[in-house]
Amino acid sequence: MTLPAKPKRNISSRKNILIGSVIGVIAAIIILAITIAFPGSTTTSNHSIMVDPTKEMQSLFVLARVTIQNTGSESLTNIIIDYGDGDKDIIPTLKPGKTIILSPPEENSLQFVRVTADGGIDIYKAYREPIAMPGMMGS
């Protein structure tokens, strides 16, 4: 006479759910990191602009810059870059596809940048600190 076999617990389905959940969380983190690391553009009709303020802490100084790119199909006019602390730059015209890189004044607190332009452009961004890569200056 043989004894009835014990039913097996269904561990593999729990394991699959756990693995799927972990993969989903990792994918969400990667997508979030990519969207934070690579700034997008702000669009209003034919006017589009990408603003990327960065600051890099070096051992002896801080390297700060603001990259502005016209990603639209028309020229941007009357661009005002407000670095905060009363510091501003004015760019009369930026043609489509062109990029400019500006440096805020040395005494600036480097908290935020506000960029306005004709065509309804009004962007407010905090400075970001790029990830230090091994072997690069300041890392």
28 inside domain: no
pLDDT of residue 7: 62
Q: Is the model's pLDDT at 139 over the cut of 60?
A: no
Lowest mean pLDDT among 12-16, 62-66, 81-85, 121-125: 12-16
Q: How many domains does the chain have?
A: 1
For 68, the domain range is 42-126
103 inside domain: yes
46 inside domain: yes
Only one residue has tokens 């669009």, namely 43
Percent of the chain with pLDDT over 90: 41
Q: Is the model's pLDDT at 99 over the cut of 80?
A: yes
Percent of the chain with pLDDT over 70: 79
Residue 123 contacts residue 115 (beta carbons within 8 Å): yes
Residues 6+ apart with CB under 8 A from 122: 114, 115, 116
Q: Is the model's pLDDT at 42 over the cut of 60?
A: no
Q: Is the model's pLDDT at 9 over the cut of 70?
A: no
Tell me if residue 20 falls in helix, strand or coil. Answer: helix
pLDDT of residue 120: 86
50 inside domain: yes
2 inside domain: no
CATH of the domain at 86: 2.60.40
Record the pTM: 0.63
10 inside domain: no
Q: Is the model's pLDDT at 18 over the cut of 70?
A: yes
135 inside domain: no
